[in-house]
Amino acid sequence: MRSFFLVIVIGVLTALAQIPTNVALTPAFGTSGTNHFINPVWFGEVPGKSGTFLVVEQGGISTNTDSARIYVLVPNGSGGYTKQKFLSLKVRQDMPEMGLLGIAFHPGYVTNRKYYINYIPPTRGSFDSTLIEERTAAASLVVDAGTAPRRILGIQQPKANHNGGTLAFGKDGFLYIGMGDGGEDGSGIQTLLGSMLRIDVDHPANGLGYSIPSDNPLVSNTTAGVRKEIWAYGLRNPWKWSFDPLNGDLWVGDVGESTAEEVDKVAKGNNMGWTTMEGSGCFSYSTVKPVCNKTSLTLPVMDFTRTQAQSIIGGYVFRGNPSSVFYGAYIFGDWALHKVYALKLSGSIWQLTQIASSSVEISSFGTDSKGNIYVVGHNTGIIYLLDHTALVPVPIELRQKKPGTGLHSPRLIPVMGGNEGEYFLSNVPDMNLFSLNGDKVHPQSAGIYIAR
């Protein structure tokens, strides 16, 4: 009788999955003038209208006309889309970080038709203000109703940069607002700048356009001048951020000053460190960095030197196809270096992979109800779909092709090829199809295979 004995010692099996490094950016709606945009900064799907998309244009430099526009792309029944104007708006856009910066749909948008925008109005004076407004869509959900907007919140900006811009509703039904430091290192609990704000827009109180949720972290703080709208602080410029749709984790791409860029996970009451820290290091405008106390500060998930990234653009956690090697990975990019990255937890280690590079100045990422991820090209005016065919691994299995005797050299090879005595891996979640030989085995997944 022939005996068969197989011993496998593997560290973290799912770490064998290789993240693709050549993912294509494919124009999602073509490149013609019909579906071409001017300075787009936001892309997403219209709630209640599956397959209907919305694009936010920031607005033109040095103009106070209705240069900021929002468009919808409505399926035309022939495999294409019809571009329609949703809203046009006057904005101030003297600097690249001004204009129409963000949009969020109320969780009850399908019935109450409320949505919210973040923009710099065309007023001129000693300062520039961020304005958060509530607006109403028509019954069709694909065009503004034309009714007067409701002012929610105005925030004084000392300078024209570091305005943040993203708005989003959390699973708790409250509106979160990412504010930059206003270009003057503003952060702390006595200013709305440099903070993630959390407000209740459904129950205005105290003469404001909103109320403060009772469980905000600073509600009981008695410090003079404390801003109880704050959910977390110590941010420099959280231009793009998002919630993980699975667990509600808040991911932020925080743009750095001079030495570092960072990706953060932000939770209730966190002090993210700016200006004591930049990235995970102590900050000073001097070339000599001081020693700082980081005890009460929240370190970034990952930070980057200026050669690795120069203007971080926050993205989304991929929650599309669960069998994808990217499932659970945070997809984000860099404006200046035109790179797209995937950041994924493997065991207790965050693994970073550059998955794409192009000539696109990435201003934002987007997603749809299927979990697909899109890249917004600010300079090209094109919306790109990440090639999700590259994100789905081919199943492989663990078996011995032709049992023999003696010690066999372990190998992982494609299911459809290979020689006698070689082993295969298959039907393992989150695995990619690839070949490994001897010392090429991933160090976190190295194994010993014995057959006889």
Residue 203 buriedness (CB in 10 A; 0-12 / 13-18 / 19+): exposed
Residue 76 buriedness (CB in 10 A; 0-12 / 13-18 / 19+): exposed
Residue 353: φ, ψ to 5°: -135, 130
In this structure, the answer to whether residues 377 and 407 fall within a common structural domain is no
Give the end of a domain, one of 354, 376, 391: 391
Assign 348 to helix, strand or coil: coil
In this structure, the answer to whether residues 163 and 180 fall within a common structural domain is yes
Pairing of strands 150-157, 81-89: unpaired
In this structure, the answer to whether residues 232 and 361 fall within a common structural domain is yes
**Structural domain for 403, as ranges:** 1-17+393-452
Single-letter code of the amino acid located at 286? S
Q: How many domains does the chain have?
A: 2
Residue 65: φ, ψ to 5°: -80, 180
The whole-angstrom separation of Cα 99 and Cα 335 is 18
pLDDT band at 1 (very low <50, low <70, confident <90, very high): very low
pLDDT band at 230 (very low <50, low <70, confident <90, very high): very high
- pTM of the predicted structure, to 2 decimals: 0.83
Among 79-83, 170-174, 297-301, the range scoring the smallest mean pLDDT is 79-83
Is pLDDT at 127 greater than 80 in this prediction? no
Residue 438 buriedness (CB in 10 A; 0-12 / 13-18 / 19+): exposed
Residue 223 buriedness (CB in 10 A; 0-12 / 13-18 / 19+): exposed
In this structure, the answer to whether residues 126 and 233 fall within a common structural domain is yes
Q: Can you spell out the DSSP letters for 162-223? A: -----EEE-TTSPEEEE---TTTT--STT-STTEEEEEBSSS--TTSSSB--TTSTTTT---
Which tens digit of pLDDT belongs to each residue from 41-70?
999 999 999 999 999 999 876 555 678 999
Query: For residue 56, what are the contacts with CB-CB under 8 A and spacing of at least 6?
Result: 40, 41, 42, 43, 68, 70, 100, 102, 103
In this structure, the answer to whether residues 86 and 235 fall within a common structural domain is yes
The whole-angstrom separation of Cα 149 and Cα 167 is 17
In this structure, the answer to whether residues 342 and 427 fall within a common structural domain is no
Q: In the chain, what percentage of residues exceed pLDDT 90?
A: 63
In this structure, the answer to whether residues 214 and 359 fall within a common structural domain is yes
In this structure, the answer to whether residues 327 and 382 fall within a common structural domain is yes
Task: Identify the bridge partners of residue 27 per DSSP, sorted by sequence position.
Answer: 384
In this structure, the answer to whether residues 43 and 115 fall within a common structural domain is yes
In this structure, the answer to whether residues 193 and 302 fall within a common structural domain is yes
In this structure, the answer to whether residues 158 and 224 fall within a common structural domain is yes
Is pLDDT at 275 greater than 60 in this prediction? yes
Strand ranges, E, within 393-439: 397-400, 411-412, 423-427, 436-437
Mean pLDDT of the chain: 82
